[in-house]
Structure 1
């Protein structure tokens, strides 16, 4: 009684109980109880004490008990963590070496320029008496040094195919007149100075649609908002507030955040089609397959496209996958909260499914890094799109027929699944039937195919379409109405079973059609202030790191929630502050991952493909 602290070392335990007989609380519900007990208590002791407290009036079932004070988990003994540390150290050394070599090379090159231009100035003064400055010339050469790398990243990168598609249009450029070995060029690809300048470049390539940048960047903010709300709802202490906010009209924009993913599918299909046709029109693809038959040439193109994309995406993806496994294993052992998914179990078993981009073919309970379903679907769509595009070069009508068949099949399949499962898009949870509708490629293909059609259209017209004013007005009106209806149209409405199936089938494609008008209008000088917003240079850097931001932002969400020692209390001010913090943290990490893995890989692929073409 006289001691300030208890006469034993305390321990903390989390008891998960299912209450079956809850006359006051309504139907059976699960509760989590935090227990402070002597640290010598084992998990089985807590279970026995809980069962011993049962009375005839109580009816409950113990679902589990956990304790962060009893875990023996050590990061330094974790094999995945050791691999991550090794990779991190190796990449850090390459970044330091590449940056140092780049800075030294720039200085040496500028000194040589000053000497040459000083000699030239003396000759000029002796003949004409006129002097000149070498600063502008030196600056232009320095810019030329950046051009090879900046071109690789100045074209928008994103969640979808990113640079892997857009780099089809890039010509490898020599940084200077001085010949560098391939190893020197590969080392320079890790230069943080050059890569950061490329990411933050306020210019875009000639083969780029600038409005794509803004559409991608703003959609990423929408994705982060939706995922932040999911985490907040799971780890809040006033969960009943969710029932209140879900009945507000404006909150429907959060509940319907799945359409942001359709925007990325649309962008992905658009870039694949637009850039492939432009590259083929310049004759660059034919150089790679001269002297072979049509089937062999198509096969070369296909494996070249798929292989380039695989290498391009997998480097940062594999690193973040390891981070997810380690982070969730650590949090599962040390957090007072239960993890939202079983990544600490699934990732060691099924990581190979992620690397092969086939994880959406398996049950969601076995999925590692749940949000990676998008990367799997997008890669599968890319494979389908590559086949259609390769065929379309010589057999356009046949390729168009294949695309139409895929589109109708996706609509019919989605409608059948929704109808047979009685799916109500206005009443069910947004992630209802996740394993049957939400993440399956055969239900999400529509927006990608719409993007491919728009890409071909803008290529064929060279982004020069004369649209009458009345058509422009009707187009913007129809697009705005479609977007608003898809976001808010089902609020407090009831659909029949057939109407619900039709809505589930066509709504995602309808969203892509609305996005299609936005891109067509902005690309043909009919976008007005919308085009100015989406093409704002300030959005370019955020657009270029969207892929990495998508990879890392759920980790930020989870670490914030599970590292807390108390639930999140939801209020409008708290949610706004939390969301802004999640955005900033996610993009800081995205820039780091992009500079460390994404940008170097893109540049190395460009260098190796250039050397191979020689």
Structure 2
């Protein structure tokens, strides 16, 4: 088939195609090979500095009789006990270098960190010295320690220093050296250290530490030291799976580019329309295809064929199959689908809500996710009880991005009913094919998820360099090595139970969304039982029964949330252990997040249900009477519509002033929900009682979803044109199609950038804002690549399979009917 397609190309086009493919494959091969090179590079050493600390501090217990204990004592956001044994001596290789090149060691140490609590030193300068390597030493307070009235129940990091040492040394050698230096010096050597700066590494909270309570060096002497390094704890080359992942990515790019050349080579006057285009043209953009908030419809009605274009294939069957497959992976066709603007719809306002919610999520993660990898060198600027940013409403505006997830849940439930209810009512039984709907949903989201999982686990982990890269790589491997497969089955919210052990922890949303998608058709069956063939009284009963069951589910989940708050003492303070328990027991569980989805379903049902159906007696009388003739001006059709009306008709009849008041009230309530949390964060934190914590954790999210539903319904009626025109502007269409992929890739970008930092982040609201802008641009750019390479081709291929299945089914039905006749 490929040969037949190539024969139709001119020699010039074939030559250009071969050159492009060969150059691309060659570039990918060079990139893969370069990944196997050892890093970092070496260069001649710099002259030692006169102010370097004496290397004699290191040589005290240097003995060639000792044996190295090995390396790999890694730390990340979940700190564990260091190795049970501690080296009493420096390893022979390290000891030999220290004794042989003392002047070089002094030059190395001059590049080390000197300013506690957080100083990574001169990383770039260190790794370019001959025979030098950079190590990161983390000081961990032991469990059971009491510091300024704060009892530690696990290993907590309170300080971190970068140490430049000979590459012959391992992590245990550096840990021993750091402990030796602390035992030999007094507090005067750390004259720039202030005790009240010893807070908590990576933005984790700690009670205020005052200089009058204890000397800082004495505290560090009692800490355990864990050491990581780029050379010992980060992979220097990708493994076989990483090579396969990069090869698959390169093949996808080559396939997309090659398909674009093949698909666009023939003149338009002779190029037949592929089955993919024909299938796509039969799907309306919005109403005929299920749209989810993170999965905006990318199908638009195809333009009519040009006058001279053939619309029926005349080529052999083999060429037809080849043409369809090429069209699926044609990157130019995928780009057209990505940028197509569909016809105006009442739910266009959801495009703006979708994009703004995604940007808000990226903002929150821009602050939170780097804290576990690179961290901040000024944690007290965030955590101080007096002047910390946690006391400001601006911090809550950043952290409030977690409420955007409930916006997505509301939109998912709303669109499920908005699209599926009319489809189910058109069937005789009032039911949709459950297995087909679930299979379509799984095939719709899994390819992009699988591709991003492959990039995160086996590609991005191998392209990092910096003092924090080892921590970044370890944070990936410790989670993904055992739990990567749970995300492909969408059970990550139950196994592993702790969300911190999930490979791509942010995909908890997809796990809940898929579970809600499984149960939503069951609720839909209660509303649509019997379809349009059901009597008006039966449809009214179905509406009552379905509403009762749906409301009962929402109330039951809310009561369950109340029980969990009281049972496990959960709280909203994100800088406290109460919130850690909240994320463990409640935050990502489907039975606590369903109310937002259910409220979205209720809002859509209110629009679709008939509230004043004709009585059965009137319907029977009309059925027995002859059908009246329709006037030329459509009066009979208008009369027929007036005999029954839906919830949307009721909303349209409400005065515009009421809609404006409802939108303003909803916006004020949403702002209150986000900003009121500041009262619990102020001062020492945990200012709320258990009852107040219960009120917010149990009712804030359903109330948020209800407010989003009010705004959606008001925009759908057209009574608030200023809001609906803004949220429904065509400018939101393209980024709305990319929100699903942006949700998948933005944490990968944020974490990868943090893992490649050569120094700590310095917190300020301005810094968070400008990093948020950059992360948003990178995320949507990478999301567009995933859409063009994976998501859209898989959608086209799935559409092709569905259309082929329908044709076979139609042929079988026709043949059966002819046989019966």
Q: 2:444 aligns with which of 271, 295, 312?
A: 312
- Deviation (angstroms), 1:531: 0.5
Which runs of no fewer than 5 residues in structure 1 stay unpaired? Answer: 114-140, 287-293
Paired residues for 1:172-191 under 5 Å:
177-179=311-313, 181-191=320-330
Separation in 2 of the partners of 1:312 and 1:152? 18
- Deviation (angstroms), 1:366: 2.3
Matched, 1:419 2:566: yes
Matched, 1:584 2:781: no
In structure 2, the partner of 1:125 is none
Change (3 A) 1:98 1:542: same
Worse overlay, 415-424 or 44-53: 44-53
Report Cα offsets for 1:336-366 as digits up to 9, x if no partner: 3523983212213211110000001122242
- Deviation (angstroms), 1:458: 2.6
Report Cα offsets for 1:492-516 as digits up to 9, x if no partner: 2654322321321111010010000
- Deviation (angstroms), 1:263: 0.4
Matched, 1:358 2:519: no
Separation in 2 of the partners of 1:543 and 1:311? 20
Mark the structure with the bigger radius of gyration. 2
- Deviation (angstroms), 1:566: 0.5
In structure 2, the partner of 1:267 is 411
Matched, 1:81 2:242: yes
Paired residues for 1:173-572 under 5 Å:
177-179=311-313, 181-204=320-343, 209-234=347-372, 235-243=375-383, 244-281=388-425, 283=426, 301-327=433-459, 329-330=461-462, 335-336=467-468, 338-339=471-472, 342-361=475-494, 362-394=497-529, 395-425=542-572, 433-460=582-609, 461=646, 463-464=648-649, 465-492=652-679, 494-572=687-765
In structure 2, the partner of 1:120 is none
- Deviation (angstroms), 1:72: 7.1
Change (3 A) 1:506 1:209: same
Higher relative contact order (Cα pairs below 8 Å, separated by 6+ residues):
1
Change (3 A) 1:414 1:328: farther
- Deviation (angstroms), 1:269: 0.8
Separation in 1 of the partners of 2:445 and 2:490? 11
Matched, 1:9 2:149: no
- Deviation (angstroms), 1:546: 0.3
Matched, 1:109 2:256: no
In structure 2, the partner of 1:35 is 163
- Deviation (angstroms), 1:550: 0.4
Separation in 1 of the partners of 2:689 and 2:593? 22
Change (3 A) 1:496 1:572: closer
Report Cα offsets for 1:167-203 as digits up to 9, x if no partner: 7x99999996122734422320222222212211233
Contact 1:156–1:213 (CA<8 Å) still a contact in 2?
Answer: no
Contact 1:359–1:373 (CA<8 Å) still a contact in 2?
Answer: yes
Report Cα offsets for 1:138-176 as digits up to 9, x if no partner: xxx99x96992796877796654544xx97x99999996
The TM-score, its normalising length taken from structure 1, stands at: 0.83
Contact 1:328–1:343 (CA<8 Å) still a contact in 2?
Answer: no
Matched position secondary structure for 2:798: helix
Change (3 A) 1:448 1:575: same
Report Cα offsets for 1:363-384 as digits up to 9, x if no partner: 2242111101111011111111
Change (3 A) 1:484 1:454: same
Which runs of no fewer than 5 residues in structure 2 stay unpaired? Answer: 1-44, 49-102, 105-129, 185-217, 530-541, 610-645, 681-686, 808-821
Matched position secondary structure for 2:391: coil
Separation in 2 of the partners of 1:252 and 1:334? 31
Contact 1:75–1:330 (CA<8 Å) still a contact in 2?
Answer: yes
Say what the alpha-carbon RMSD is for the aligned residues: 3.5
Change (3 A) 1:474 1:153: closer
Worse overlay, 442-451 or 570-579: 570-579
Separation in 2 of the partners of 1:39 and 1:306? 55
Contact 1:149–1:603 (CA<8 Å) still a contact in 2?
Answer: no
In structure 2, the partner of 1:100 is 261
Change (3 A) 1:176 1:372: farther
Worse overlay, 577-586 or 449-458: 449-458
Worse overlay, 254-263 or 581-590: 254-263
Change (3 A) 1:112 1:269: closer
- Name whichever structure is richer in helix by fraction: 1
- Deviation (angstroms), 1:402: 2.7
Separation in 1 of the partners of 2:302 and 2:333? 18
Change (3 A) 1:49 1:63: closer
- Deviation (angstroms), 1:219: 0.5
Contact 1:10–1:39 (CA<8 Å) still a contact in 2?
Answer: yes
Q: How many residues align?
A: 567
Change (3 A) 1:359 1:170: farther
- Deviation (angstroms), 1:255: 2.1
Separation in 2 of the partners of 1:48 and 1:309? 55
